[in-house]
Amino acid sequence: MQGTLSKLKAELGQPIQYFLPLGDEKVALNAFIGKPISLTFSGNIFCCNCGKKTKKSYSQGHCFVCMRKLASCDMCIMKPETCHFDAGTCREPEWGEANCMIPHYVYLANTSGLKVGITRHTQIPTRWIDQGATQALPIFKVQTRLQSGLVEVALAQFIADKTNWRNMLKDVSVDVDLNAAANQLLPQIADKIAELNTLYGEGSIEILDEDILDLHYPKLESAKKLTSFNFDKDPVASGILKGIKGQYLIFDTGVINIRKFTAYEVAFQAV
C-alpha cells in the first residue's frame, strides 16, 4: 500500500486503536504489533494543503507558499498567547473564527511527567493521545485560543509545558494524582485568573471539575532503542513493531515520529 502520510489516527479503546493514513487508505496498525513491517519513502513530498510537489516540507507537510499564507501555520499556533486575531491581522479571519475564537480547554497531563497544555474542545481526547499522555484532566474551559494560551503561560511558571519525547517513549513517568496537582496549582494563579475574568468578562475562565482519563497504548514493551528514523537521510524505516504511543511507531530497531513526515509519499509493507 502506498500514499502520502498523515498523522496517525486513533480511536479510544483498551488499548487505543491506531491507524496509519496513506492517501485515502488507512492501515489498522494494532494488528501488526509483534510483526516485522517497513515504511519506504519514495522521495516525493506533496503539500498537504494544495497537493503540489515540493522539495521540502514546512510546518508538517506544507509547501513554502502555503506555509507563508495559512493561518494554521502562523507562529501563534505554537504560541497561542500571541494570537493577533483581535488586532485584525489574522492571515485567514474565517479560519480564525472557526478554530481560534471557539472554546478551548487547559489541561494537566502525564506524558513524560506532569505538564500543562491546551486544546480545542473538538480535539479531546485526540490531543492527549497525540502527546502520549497516560493520564489527562481538563481544569479550565475558556472562550478563545488566546485566553487558553494566557492561562497556560501562567501555569507554565510552575510546571512543564512540553513533553520529553524520549522519556515518554521509555515510560519513565509514574501515575500522578492530577486532581491534587490541580488543587495545588490553582491558588498560585488565582490572581491571574481574576485578572483575565476582569479583562474578558466574568466567567470567561471557567474552573472545571472533571474526571481523570486514563489512556492505554498498544505495545509489547517500552522503547529500548531511541534512534530516530529520518526519511530525509534514509528512505527506509523497518523492524519489528513493538508498540505505538503518541505519534511514534516503536520498532526494535528505533522509532519514527509519523506526524513529522506528513505529506511524504510512503509505501507500507508487512515483511
Please report the pLDDT score of residue 242 as a whole number.
96
Give CA–CA dist 49/63, Å, rounded: 8
Please report the pLDDT score of residue 225 as a whole number.
81
Please report the pLDDT score of residue 38 as a whole number.
97
Give CA–CA dist 134/174, Å, rounded: 9
Please report the pLDDT score of residue 217 as a whole number.
97
Give CA–CA dist 101/104, Å, rounded: 9
Please report the pLDDT score of residue 142 as a whole number.
97
Cis status, amide bond into 103, omega within 30 of 0: no
Please report the pLDDT score of residue 221 as a whole number.
85
Please report the pLDDT score of residue 173 as a whole number.
84
- Spans in the chain with pLDDT lower than 70: none
Give CA–CA dist 204/170, Å, rounded: 38
Question: Over the chain, what is the mean pLDDT?
Answer: 96
Cis status, amide bond into 125, omega within 30 of 0: yes
Please report the pLDDT score of residue 124 as a whole number.
95
Please report the pLDDT score of residue 130 as a whole number.
97
Please report the pLDDT score of residue 223 as a whole number.
82
